[in-house]
Amino acid sequence: MTKYKIGKLGSSILFGNICIPKSEGNRYYQQFIQDVAEQGYDVVEGPNVVQPSYAELRAPEYPPIADQLDKIYHSGVAAWKAEIKEIKDKYPKAITGRTDIAPLPEWLYAAVDNYRFNQQLRAYVVASERLAQHQLSTTQERIVEEFTINGVIETVETQSFIQGLPSDDPRVIEDDAERAAAQTVVDNTPQNVKDSINN
């Protein structure tokens, strides 16, 4: 079901009676891109292209009236008719003029691809951070490091000891489910998204 229509010049989007400017800072434009990305390209229709009628196509090719009268005077009506007939045959009356729908503009595909990329990037970062958190069923060992500060050796705990919870603990079950969901996101993230962070 079409919800949006690209305006004639491709620089605006029509949504009912609302005209949305193609502007990154406009929240309605952002919603439009999100809707297309999440619901598919069927929610938007390309701009109207008005095809001219035979009369509109013929008019600029007809010689000026003064030239036509001059042609009749010097060459006769038959010569004038032959010249005019070429134009009429070129643009027959079958060309009635109509409105076609143009393809969607390239900027829309680029904007939707960018939106999807950013969504995947955010999801990947969140999932990676979730997987980096301590797994509740695993015991975390205490780590102590020594640092020399102003000639004095100080012992600093860099990782606390955390006793692992039993596997039937509801917190462990929830933790495992969240980790599995996060791992699925990481596994399904396209390589180009991962590379944008890792490079």
> Based on the domain organization, do 140 and 127 belong to the same domain?
yes
- Segments forming the whole domain that contains residue 40: 4-51+98-104
Quote the tokens at residue 158: 């860099």
In a domain, 111, yes or no: no
> Based on the domain organization, do 46 and 65 belong to the same domain?
no
> Based on the domain organization, do 64 and 47 belong to the same domain?
no
In a domain, 115, yes or no: no
Going by C-beta distance under 8 Å and a sequence separation of 6 or more, which residues neighbour residue 161? 139, 140, 141, 142
> Based on the domain organization, do 130 and 187 belong to the same domain?
yes
- 83, pLDDT greater than 80: yes
> Based on the domain organization, do 128 and 144 belong to the same domain?
yes
Confidence bin at 150 (pLDDT 50/70/90) = confident
Tell me, what amino acid is at 25?
G
User: By percentage, how much of the chain surpasses pLDDT 90?
Assistant: 65
In a domain, 109, yes or no: no
Confidence bin at 1 (pLDDT 50/70/90) = low
Residue 50 is predicted with a pLDDT of: 87
- 115, pLDDT greater than 90: yes
Confidence bin at 156 (pLDDT 50/70/90) = confident
> Based on the domain organization, do 149 and 175 belong to the same domain?
yes
In a domain, 13, yes or no: yes
44-45/4-6 β-pairing: parallel
In a domain, 110, yes or no: no
Confidence bin at 8 (pLDDT 50/70/90) = confident
In a domain, 142, yes or no: yes
> Based on the domain organization, do 34 and 67 belong to the same domain?
no
Residue 199 is predicted with a pLDDT of: 66
> Based on the domain organization, do 188 and 149 belong to the same domain?
yes
Quote the tokens at residue 181: 């969901």
> Based on the domain organization, do 8 and 44 belong to the same domain?
yes
Q: Phi/psi class of residue 16: alpha, beta or left (left: φ > 0; alpha: ψ in -120 to 50)? A: left
How many domains is the chain partitioned into structurally?
3
> Residues 137-158: what's their mean pLDDT?
86
List the strands of the sheet with 18-21, edge to edge. 18-21, 12-15, 4-6, 44-45
Residue 62 is predicted with a pLDDT of: 94
- Rounded CA gap, 39 and 82, in Å? 56
> Based on the domain organization, do 26 and 58 belong to the same domain?
no
